[in-house]
Amino acid sequence: MRNIKISYSYDGSDFYGFQRQPDKRTVQGEIEKVLNIILKKEINLTTAGRTDRGVHARVQVSNFIIDSSLTIPLENLKRAMNKLLPMDIDIFDVCEVEKDFNARYMPKTRAYEYIITWKKDVFSRRYKTYVLKEVDPQKLKEILLVLVGRHDFNNFRIKDENNRTTIREIYKIDVYYKNEDKNEIGIYIEGNAFLKTQVRIIVGTALDVYFGRKSKDYLELLLAEPFKERKIEVAEPGGLYLTKVEY
């Protein structure tokens, strides 16, 4: 058997999320459909992270198993995939890896970036989240830093998701201006793994704190009492990007 790893990016705007769904256009569904055509067998992707509907990826990683008898050169496989895939998915690396490599369970680090702007622009509305007032990156970072470390993030997830544990570790959070005009910011969050919609909940709820809609210690309360249900805010998906997966 051969274990093939693919690295790729996608614009999530017109997908119903990453995970394969019947009668829905998804990233996994489109890639597997193309692989089934090229390799003439049913392929199941194992993937580093399943992004929500409308969320983008600058770097996503998957692997899949094929029979050793399939000797197609990997550069030819990459070329064939990109020829058949829609324009909103781009495969930029294909390589063979050890048989025990697993894209889902082996990442040491995953990172997301969330982009916020207060300059209204109809042409970038799918790729940035618009807010009515300017955001000071340093003040927002001070609100977010309480989340760095190992915590039970039960309050920072969609409750219909089943997880063996809701404990995750965030290694780094940074907030910074994205351009010289200082009319948009990026929020960088790096950790070992993330729960479903966790980053969007972090951003949405932190913005509520920033704009005074929730108390200054609200994120601390969510961490201190992870099983006491409190109101959370989910940020829009279009501003979110999976930016790094490291093994």
pLDDT in tens, 42-76: 999 999 999 999 999 999 999 999 988 778 899 99
- Positions annotated as catalytic residues are 52
What DSSP string runs through 37-97?
HHHSS----EES--PPTT-EEEEEEEEEEE-TT----HHHHHHHHHHHS-TTEEEEEEEEE
CA dist 75 to 71, 124, 133, Å? 12, 33, 48
C-alpha–C-alpha distance, residues 109 and 139, integer Å: 26
In the block, which residue shows the tokens 């890639």? 31
According to the model, what pLDDT value does residue 29 have? 98
According to the model, what pLDDT value does residue 69 have? 77
According to the model, what pLDDT value does residue 160 have? 67
According to the model, what pLDDT value does residue 126 have? 95
C-alpha–C-alpha distance, residues 101 and 99, integer Å: 6
Q: Are 12 and 54 in contact (CB under 8 A)?
A: yes
Residues of the chain whose pLDDT is less than 70?
160-161
Mark out the alpha helices in the chain (DSSP H runs). Answer: 27-39, 74-84, 137-144, 198-210, 218-224
According to the model, what pLDDT value does residue 71 have? 83
**Helix (H/G/I), strand (E/B), else coil: 200:** helix
Q: Which token pair is 230?
A: 């409190």
C-alpha–C-alpha distance, residues 54 and 51, integer Å: 8
Q: Are 206 and 216 in contact (CB under 8 A)?
A: no
pTM for the model stands at: 0.94
